[in-house]
Amino acid sequence: MNTILVAEDDRPTRLLLRERLKAARFAVATAKDGAEALAKLRESSYDLMLLDIWMPRMNGLEVLAHLKDSPSRPLVVVMTSDSTPETLLRAVREQAYQYITKPVEPKALVQLLRDMVAHAPAALPIEVLSARPDWVELLVPCTREAAARIEGFMGHLDADLAEDVRESVGYAFRELLLNAIEWGGRLDPNRKVRIAYVRARKMLLYRIADPGPGFRFEDLKHAAVGHPEGSSPLEHMEVRMQKGIRPGGFGILMAKAKVDELIYNEARNEVIFVKYLS
C-alpha cells in the first residue's frame, strides 16, 4: 500500500482528501501546516505528498525548499488556488512533481497519484534555468514521463488566455516536445531538451532545442509532412504500418496549423513557434 502525507490547513478539505484517498487504498497521514508536515517527514518516509502552498507557520514552498536535498523525498503534488506564474515557477524550481489548482477533483487526483506511483522510478529532475514569468527556460530529461510533467506545468502559465488559444498552444507544444524527446533525444534520460517560453504583451513564443543531429523533411516518410503537396494525405500511414510505428504522423502539420509561425533552424534540431495575442 502506497503512503501519502496530506498537508492542508483547511480542515474540511484535509478530512475530505483523507477519506477519498483511504477509499482508494492509500495509507494516509495528515498535517495541518507546513511545520507539522516537515516534522512528520522527518519521523517517517512517504511515497507521495499533497502539499498546500499557503499555510500557517511554514508555507508549502518553504517545505519544498527543506526537502530539496532529502534522500527520502516523496513525490510532491502542489495544490493551491494561487495560480500566479511566480508561485508555479517557484514550485518547479523546488522540484514539485506536479501542480494542481483548487478546488481539487477527487477522481482526477486519485488517477494522477496512481500514475505517479507507476512512473516513480523514472522521475528525473527538471532543471530551471530562468524563472521569470515572461521568460522561462528549462532543461528537461528525454523521457515521456518528464514531458507529461512539464506539459502540465506549462499549461498553467497560459491560464489567463482564451480557451481556444490555450488548446492551440498546448497541442503544438506537446507535439513538438514529444518529437524532440522521442526522435532528437531517442528517449535517453541522460540527454536533455532545452525549452524556452517567452511571454510578451502581444505574442507567445516557445523554443524547443533537442540534443539530436536534426533531420530532413524528405526523410520523414512516416509523417505526412514528409510527402510532397498533391500526394495522398494518407500515404505516410502505409510506411508507419510497415515500420510498426504507432498510428499518427500528422503532428508537425497539425502544429503548423495551430500556431501563427513555426520556424526550424538549418539542422532542424531547434524549432520556434509563435502565437500572436489579440
Asked if CATH classification 3.30.565.10 holds for the domain at 124-278, the reply, yes or no, is: yes
Q: Assess whether pLDDT exceeds 80 at residue 198.
A: yes
* Rounded CA separation 33/63 (Å): 10
Lowest mean pLDDT among 105-109, 155-159, 162-166: 155-159
Domains 1-123 and 124-278 alike in fold: no
pLDDT digits (tens, 9 = 90+) for 92-116: 888 899 888 888 888 999 999 998 8
Q: Could you tell me the residue ranges of all domains in the chain?
A: 1-123, 124-278
What is the band of 163 on the pLDDT scale with cuts at 50, 70, 90? very high
What is the band of 177 on the pLDDT scale with cuts at 50, 70, 90? very high
Q: What is the pLDDT of residue 266?
A: 95
Q: Helices 60-67 & 34-43, crossing angle to 10 degrees?
A: 30
Cα→Cα distances 23→18, 110, 233, Å: 9, 10, 49
Cα→Cα distances 70→6, 38, 75, 113, 123, Å: 18, 11, 12, 21, 15
pLDDT digits (tens, 9 = 90+) for 42-67: 999 999 999 999 898 899 999 999 98
Helix (H, G, I), strand (E, B) or coil at 95: coil
Location of C-alpha cell 488559444? 165
For residue 73, the one-letter residue type is R
Secondary element (H or E) of residue 195 = strand 192-200
Q: Sign (positive/negative) of CA torsion 200, 90, 27, 15? A: negative
Check: CB of residue 57 under 8 Å from CB of residue 32: no
pLDDT digits (tens, 9 = 90+) for 260-269: 999 999 999 9
Q: Which residue has the higher pLDDT, 187 or 230?
A: 187
Q: Which CATH architecture has domain 1-123?
A: 3-Layer(aba) Sandwich (3.40)
Q: What is the pLDDT of residue 247?
A: 46
